Structure 1
Amino acid sequence: MGTIRTDWQRRGLGHAREGTTRLPHHPVERMLTDPRLYGYRTYRGEILLDHDGQPVIGAWETINTVEEWEIVNGG
């Protein structure tokens, strides 16, 4: 996360306010571990579950696999 954050700061990406040079760690981590990147459907930040308690998978091409999300999130 730190390497990505440093690179984004160097490029001037992701600053919350114009003129800000520091990009906090938390937003970068949140962006890169967002369940939607892995195909999970979410509502207000929570993964939606089907009637069997399994995560609902979206109908879009994912950036990462569900297995990668589970590794990153300790699941």
Structure 2
Amino acid sequence: MSGVPARFWGQPIRYLRWASHEKPAIFWACVLGGCGPLSFLVIPSLRRLAGDEDPPLIPHSYPGEFLLSRELRG
């Protein structure tokens, strides 16, 4: 390959090959950054397959339904 960088929009595969050899840190940073949006689709299903559950919701009221219902009764 020549030392002249390929143009991305003209030949994207050739540019990625050139960038992976000449500028590996930038290339892999872009690859990992491109995987970010994909993780929003994949990670939740992998969590469910592994048996991880969502934590219980935090109560939005105080002192809670038990004490509130006791006060209303008498």
Q: TM-score range by the shorter chain?
A: under 0.3
Higher helix share: 2
Higher relative contact order (CA 8 A, sep 6+): 1
- Using structure 1 for the length normalisation, give the TM-score: 0.22
- Using structure 2 for the length normalisation, give the TM-score: 0.23
Q: Which has the larger radius of gyration?
A: 2
